[in-house]
Amino acid sequence: MALLSVRDLSCTTEEGTQIFSEVELTLNEGDVVVVQGKSGCGKTTFLKCLAHLNLYDGHILFYGKTPKSYGVPIYRTKVAYVPQRPPLLPGTPRDFLATATSFKARKRAKGHSKDTVPPHDDFEHCLKIARSWGIDSQLWDRDWSNLSGGETQRIALAIGIGLDTAEVLLLDEPTSALDQDSCLQVERQILDTLNSSESPLKAIVWITHSPEQANRVGTRFLQFSSGSSYEEPSPPV
C-alpha cells in the first residue's frame, strides 16, 4: 500500500484564486520526491496541504486512511512539515522542543503512555544532530529572533529529524540559507536517516531551487507549472 496517496488535489486562496489543481502523487517507501518550479507556483502550499496545514480539495490518504481518521495532530507528527523559515516563535528553540516533546499526540504516536516517555532522549537526540552540523548547544537557549537564517534552518531540521516520529518528511528548501559544506553535510544526514533501519522515516518530499541538489538527493522529480504538476522521468539537467 502507498505511504501517501494524493488524488486530484487542488488549492484555492480565500479570494478565490486557484493556486494549483489536479495534482497527483503516489509516495512509496524510499522515495525522495524533489519538487521544483518557478517562485510562486505553489510548491510550499502543496507541502502545507500534504501536512494538513492548508485547506484543499481532493484526497490525501496516509496508508489508505484520511488525516482526520488518525487525528490531525497525530497525522502531523507522522507527515511532518519543516518550514523554510520557521515562523518567528516566541522563546528559544529549547522552549519549542520542550513543548514538542511533551505533546501528547507525539507520545501516542510513539506508542508510549503518558508517564513513560523520557523527554531527555529526544532533547539529546536533537541536540546531537544539530551539534554534528556545527550548532553549539548554547544556541538552543537563544531567542529564535536572534539566530541567523542558517542556524534557524539547521535547528528546525534537527528537530524534524530528531523527534523520531515522522514517516514522511516535507522539506521546504531545507538548505537554502546554508553554505555549500553545511548543505552537503545536512543532505547526507537526512539521506542517512532515511536509509537507517532505526529511524521511522520512510520517504521525503523535498522542495529545492537547486538542480544540483535535485540531482544529488532526488529519486523522483515532480515539476509544478501552469497551475498543475507533472512527474519528470529524470532529474533536471
Ligand X SMILES: Nc1ncnc2c1ncn2[C@@H]1O[C@H](COP(=O)(O)OP(=O)(O)OP(=O)(O)O)[C@@H](O)[C@H]1O
Which residues of the shown chain bind ligand X in the complex (CB under 6 A)?
A: 13, 19, 37, 39-45
Amino acid 59 reads: H
Least separation in angstroms between CB 14 and ligand X: 6
Q: Closest CB to ligand X among 92 and 153? A: 153
Q: How far apart are the first and last CA of the chain?
A: 32
Minimum distance from CB of 85 to ligand X (Å)? 10
Question: Three-state SS for 234?
Answer: coil
- Write down the least CB distance from residue 173 to ligand X, Å: 7
Q: Using the CB atoms, write b or e for 124-148: b if 16+ within 10 Å.
A: ebbbebbeebebeeebbeeebeebe
Alpha-carbon span 204 to 4, nearest angstrom:
11
Q: Are 3 and 29 a contacting pair, CB within 8 Å? A: yes
Please identify, using beta-carbon distances, which residue of 37 and 67 lies nearer to ligand X: 37
Distance between CA atoms of residues 121 and 165, nearest Å: 13
Cβ contact 80:51 at 8 Å: yes
**In this complex, which beta carbon is closest to ligand X, that of residue 9 or of residue 41?**
41
Report whether 38 contacts 127 (CB < 8 A). Answer: no
How do strand 79-82 and strand 168-172 relate by DSSP bridges? Answer: parallel
- Closest contact distance (angstroms) between CB of 20 and ligand X is 8
Q: What is the DSSP string of 157-210?
A: HHHHHHT---SEEEEESTTTTS-HHHHHHHHHHHHHHHH-TTS---EEEEE-S-
Q: Which is nearer to ligand X, 34 or 100 (CB)?
A: 34
Nearer of residues 54 and 189 to ligand X, judged by Cβ: 54
Q: Which is nearer to ligand X, 19 or 204 (CB)?
A: 19
